Structure 1
Amino acid sequence: MAQVVFEPWNDPKAKPLIQFKGVTKRFGDFTAIDNQTFDIYEREFFALLGPSGCGKTTMMRMLAGFEKPTEGKIILAGQDLAPIPPNKRSVNMMFQSYALFPHLSVWENIAFGLKRDGKPKDEIAARVDEMLKLTRLQQFAKRKPHQISGGQRQRVALARSLAKAPKLLLLDEPLGALDAKLRQATQFELMDIQEKTGTTFVIVTHDQEEAMTVASRVAVMDNGRIIQADTPARIYELPNSVYVADFIGEVTIIPGTARKSGEGYEIAYAEGMKPLYAETETAFDNGETCHIALRPEKVAISAEQPADRRNAVQGKIIDIAYLGNLSTYHVALPNGQMIKAQTANTRRLSRRGFTWEDTVWLSWTDTAAVLLKG
């Protein structure tokens, strides 16, 4: 049976759950969000990713109702959010600090919002039990927050946020306080819970690995603008700018000038160096400035010059980053240009072929690099 691919953003008939329409947010003279228009769909796990100060938290605070747009509209399920106070929106927010009540048990923490809404006792009990089961916290129901681990507290905060069945859950750096291994495990738990509940999640993070793991789409932000919003695979393989290519994962950026040649372009990048070659669907004028973006795992490293590749350059190994399963070689070309090449460490340490100061050949296929404007 063919698997149904979840891609509402490619379906012209799909109605967005959230619409940002020309949204600008200023604080005095500072523009935090600069005229942004984009959509988020129901059941999406949408990530706002970017460095500190890029505007991602302001975007989230406007959705939550803690800030109002200076210009433009935010629409949730067809309703303009501006006049609706935060506590009346079908939006819940989970803070980085979790903000649990220390004097209440896990059960009471999860029940808090439902009690405040005056729900009947049996309805509250059924919903809290459902949330405990969903987040696998049944055995901790009677404990206070200080009697459970950081990862469990994180799940209590999540259960409390989901108890009122919001249309939209906002997660502000939700895994920032967890150690690396627990964070990884919790990422998969989050995805699982999001899928089971069908709630739309919007996560703010500066951790690209986290965004790429959990999200259906990632919006890479810079200076109050979304530079590219796309699936993790497309953001990585087909970045739309040098900024996105450079921000996500490891990459070598080589500036040059393009000249049409056959199916692709020859790129002159240094005097006395043979031009590099790249095939691309983007059109360039002859002599136009361009940038080659080359991922290290797409670069082969060898002692001999490969006979079958037109992209082959010789250089010297300057640095080696050993990451256990992978090694990244930083190779300097005669003109000073550095290129990174990555290999999987399938052999024992003593059998590895290359070390510092070795002269090596780097090569890659005609379609391995992405050719970018500017």
Structure 2
Amino acid sequence: MPQKVFAPWDDPAEKPLIQFRNVTKRFGDFTAIDNINLDIYTREFFALLGPSGCGKTTLMRMLAGFETPTEGTILLSGQDIGPVPPNQRAVNMMFQSYALFPHLSVWENIAFGLKREGKDKATIETRVHEMLKLTRLEKFARRKPHQISGGQRQRVALARSLAKAPKLLLLDEPLGALDKKLREETQFELMDIQEKTGTTFVIVTHDQEEAMTVASRVAVMDEGELMQVATPDRIYEAPNSVYVADFIGDVNIIEGRAHQAGDKLQIDWAEGQPALFAQTDKNFDMGQTCYIAIRPEKVAISAERPQGANVLQGKVLDIAYLGNLSTYHVQLPTGHVVKAQQANTRRISRREFTWEDDVWVSWSETAGVVLDK
């Protein structure tokens, strides 16, 4: 039986859990959030991604109730949460600093919110045990936060946030304090926990790899606006603007003038250089400025001139060796630098290409995305 794909945003019958309706937030003259409309669905792991100061944390703080919109409404399960104080929302927030109580044990930290709600002892016992099991912390229940590692403290903060079974958990740069290897391991743990609990997670991050790994959908933000909201593969393979293409992963962007013939686009981009060709379903005016974005892994590098739609000659300027991959920075006669990536599939004692080598770079008509802005 085919597995049902999780895509509630494509189902017109699905009701969003969270709805931002024309939400604007100003601080004095500064507009932090500019007329945003956004739907987030139950069980989603949703990422707000963007550079510092793009408004992602403000958006999250409005969901938590620490900020109120200047204009517009935020609905949670169809209810306007504007007037609801933070402690009465079915929302919990996990802070970057974890904010654990140093004098309380792991067990007591997790139980804290439940005790404050006046839950009975048996309920608290059961719930804390569930959370310890979920986050694999049973062995550490009696320890204090300073007696466990950073990764374990992160899991305690998560267990404490989930103990009250919120409909929505907000995570503010939750893995920022961990080293790279631990961060990668913890990303998968987070996804696992999110799936097991069925809680909707909204994560704020400026780390694109993190967003692309954990999220069902990603909202790329810039200067208080949503630039694109889509699944990670769509954001990577079909960015809607130069900004999004450039923000996610590595990319070559070449500016040129459009010259359309059917679904094929000819791009005239430099004096004395062959035109580039791409397939697109967008319509461009004759001579309109356009941009072609090609990922380095879709660019081939060769010593001999290859056959193909887009073939350019240049010199190897730089080589980045990343173990599994080598990225060649090839400078064209125009001064443009094109990055081409090769997988290092076998052990070799020497590279095929080295600095200053004359090489050819090439890519197919379908490898690039043509953008108009």
Query: Normalised by the size of structure 1, how large is the TM-score?
Result: 0.99
Q: Partners of 1:209 and 1:187 in 2: how far apart?
A: 10
Q: Partners of 2:32 and 2:189 in 1: how far apart?
A: 32
Aligned residue in 2 for 1:359? 358
Q: Which amino acid aligns with 2:94?
A: M
Number of aligned residues: 373
Q: Which amino acid aligns with 2:144?
A: K
Aligned residue in 1 for 2:334? 335
Secondary structure of 2:297's aligned partner: helix
Bigger mean CA offset, 2-11 vs 253-262:
253-262
| 4+ residue runs over 3 A deviation | none
2:184 is the alignment partner of 1:184: yes
Residue 261 (structure 1) shift: 2.8
Secondary structure of 1:350's aligned partner: coil
Q: Partners of 2:163 and 2:151 in 1: how far apart?
A: 18
Aligned residue in 2 for 1:158? 158
Aligned residue in 2 for 1:173? 173
Aligned residue in 2 for 1:204? 204
Aligned residue in 1 for 2:60? 60
Q: Partners of 1:75 and 1:12 in 2: how far apart?
A: 18
Q: How does 1:296-311 map to 2 (within 5 A)?
A: 296-307=296-307, 309-311=308-310
Q: Partners of 1:262 and 1:155 in 2: how far apart?
A: 55
Aligned residue in 2 for 1:345? 344
Aligned residue in 2 for 1:236? 236
Task: Please tell me the root mean square deviation across aligned C-alpha atoms, in Å.
Answer: 0.7
Residue 49 (structure 1) shift: 0.2
Aligned residue in 2 for 1:70? 70
Unpaired stretches in structure 2, ≥5 consecutive residues: none
Q: Partners of 2:199 and 2:7 in 1: how far apart?
A: 16
Q: How does 1:1-374 map to 2 (within 5 A)?
A: 1-307=1-307, 309-374=308-373
1:73-101 deviation line (CA, Å, top 9, x unaligned): 00001110111000000000000000000
Unpaired stretches in structure 1, ≥5 consecutive residues: none
Q: Which amino acid aligns with 1:124?
A: I
Q: Partners of 1:183 and 1:349 in 2: how far apart?
A: 31
Q: Which amino acid aligns with 2:288?
A: E
Query: Normalised by the size of structure 2, how large is the TM-score?
Result: 0.99
Matched-pair contact (CA < 8 Å) for 2:326–2:344: yes
Q: Partners of 1:262 and 1:351 in 2: how far apart?
A: 45
Matched-pair contact (CA < 8 Å) for 2:44–2:201: yes
Q: Partners of 1:292 and 1:16 in 2: how far apart?
A: 35
Q: Which amino acid aligns with 1:357?
A: E
Bigger mean CA offset, 348-357 vs 214-223:
348-357
Q: Percent identity?
A: 75
1:263-307 deviation line (CA, Å, top 9, x unaligned): 310100001111000001111112111000010000000000112
